[in-house]
Amino acid sequence: MKKTKSKKSAVVSRSGRFSGGPAADVAAFSESISFDWRLWKQDILGSKAHATMLETIGVLTRKERDEIHAGLDSLGVEIESGRFRWKPELEDVHMNIEAELTRRVPAAAKLHTARSRNDQVALDVRLWLRDELFELQDELRTLQRALVGLGARHPKAVIPGYTHLQRAQPVFFAHHCLAYVEMFDRDHGRLGDALQRLNVCPLGSGAIAGSTLPLDRELVAKLLGFVDEQGRARITRNSMDGVSDRDFVIESAAAASLIAVHLSRLAEDVILWATSEFNFIRIADAYTTGSSLMPQKKNPDIAELTRGKSGRVIGNLVSLLVLLKGLPMTYNRDMQEDKERLFDSVDTVRSSVRLMAAMLDHTSVKEDVCRSAAGDPQLLATDLADYLVLRGLPFRKAHHAVGAVVGFAEKAGRPLDRITLAELQGIEPLFGPDVLGLFDLDRAMSRRELPGAPGPKAVAAELRRWSRLLSTDAQAASGPN
């Protein structure tokens, strides 16, 4: 093995206490700049607010504050344009920005007063998540619109609803789509809950025990938008919790996992529907892929990848839970490992939501195929039992009688709607001549108008309700949640 030499470097965190820089492999092992550079915008915002506050308590002069602000702004421009050179030997985003700023603006040597990377990173991740979760909420709305749109383009399409993946009862295709709209709405709410809880400012917690200097934490919180509905500052109430809490990371990763699970179930439905066996939908060519060998293939890769990617989102959540569970108070370097997991969960879920929405916008339903599958008279066996209930038979007895009818039909090799009235009455005398009209699919659907049920009026009303709620105007009026 090659021996590593201790490399001389200007690592800010080591100046004074250490005689030299870390060994090269130590630096490579411990750097996080390769992934936490993504927090640069939040880091700059936090530093600007901190500098503003330091000026109000007399640690910085106005001139120094302005120089720091201007320096941070110009660093931001450079980073944004890709011209900034990140240095792994400076470990992380916080040190990279501070070191370069101090090189250009000497007053920046005062910027880290009463601040630690421990409260700085807690702040940056909260700020980052705040933006990302808001955007993810918007993307969920787009996905919901795509589902409502797909249902609304085919309001008359009826499919068999399945339990145990066995045909159960007929439902409108739109009803099936709206089931997912409900799920994604709860996901939206869960992101809102996470946002509410994470929108609290940890800056001022210092490394663990706050500061001896008279910081104005509330000012910093207000400058960074950590406020309640009345505009009052929301700050963390315990400095140790402020630097060691990663609940907000886990909560966000958990909300992302549930979105991923819902997406995966939707993907599975799409994959099944696109098979020759089901053949319920057509996905536009641009949203499918071919096979390198079999010329006839048209594969639903977006749905498959979405289903596949849900695995890593769930894995990230588990990694984060395990990462945290054994850590003593307060900050431990282990926590640096949270970022890649969190970034991956948010990125993966955001792109999956976006692609699934786009694919659904380019999907159509083969209504004839769906109707003939839903026309299987067995799907109305429960209606037959309900018919007997309406004639006074206890449901258990009605269930038994219809079971016997189904068995009889199977033996006779005839579909359920081809059993004669006499044969039906042989099994249960309460069957009357009107029973045969029960098998008309449109009439069968009209019998299902309870709230929440898939009757034509109920589903049309739900489609209208959701279109209204999801219209961009209504969104703007109701705010981000």
Catalytic positions, written as ranges: 164, 291
Q: Is 86 exposed, middle or buried (0-12, 13-18, 19+ CB in 10 A)?
A: middle
3-class DSSP state for residue 282?
strand
CB closer to ligand ARG, 118 vs 378 = 118
Q: What is the C-alpha to C-alpha distance for residues 172 and 456, in angstroms, rounded to an integer?
A: 8
Q: What is the C-alpha to C-alpha distance for residues 162 and 173, in angstroms, rounded to an integer?
A: 12
Q: What is the C-alpha to C-alpha distance for residues 126 and 120, in angstroms, rounded to an integer?
A: 10
CB of 10 to ligand ARG, least distance (A): 17
Cβ atoms 406, 381 nearer than 8 A: yes
CB closer to ligand ARG, 323 vs 459 = 323
Residues with Cβ < 8 Å from 322, sequence gap 6 or more?
Answer: none
| Residue in 106, 110, 86 with CA at minimum distance from that of residue 97 | 86
Q: What is the C-alpha to C-alpha distance for residues 42 and 77, in angstroms, rounded to an integer?
A: 14
Question: Which residue type does 124 have?
Answer: D
CB of 313 to ligand ARG, least distance (A): 21
CB of 345 to ligand ARG, least distance (A): 16
CA torsion sign, 301 to 303 to 306 to 308?
Answer: negative
Residues with Cβ < 8 Å from 361, sequence gap 6 or more?
Answer: 146, 149, 150
CB closer to ligand ARG, 101 vs 384 = 101
CB of 213 to ligand ARG, least distance (A): 19
CB of 334 to ligand ARG, least distance (A): 8
β-bridge mates for residue 235, sequence order: 201
3-class DSSP state for residue 156?
coil
CB closer to ligand ARG, 99 vs 430 = 99
Which 8-state DSSP code applies to residue 111?
A: T
> Three-state secondary structure along 1-25?
CCCCCECCCCCHHHCCCCCCCCEHH
CB of 337 to ligand ARG, least distance (A): 8
CB closer to ligand ARG, 22 vs 377 = 22
Cβ atoms 236, 205 nearer than 8 A: yes
- In the block, residue with structure tokens 């739900």: 462
Q: Is 285 exposed, middle or buried (0-12, 13-18, 19+ CB in 10 A)?
A: exposed
CB closer to ligand ARG, 301 vs 337 = 337
Q: What is the C-alpha to C-alpha distance for residues 15 and 106, in angstroms, rounded to an integer?
A: 16
CB closer to ligand ARG, 251 vs 338 = 338
For helices 247-273 and 173-198, the axis angle rounded to 10 degrees is 170
CB closer to ligand ARG, 178 vs 249 = 249
Across 164-311, the runs of DSSP E, i.e. the strands, are 166-172, 281-283
CB of 339 to ligand ARG, least distance (A): 6
Q: Residues in the site for ligand ARG, rule: CB under 6 A?
A: 32, 36, 92, 117-118, 121, 331, 333, 335-336
CB of 297 to ligand ARG, least distance (A): 45
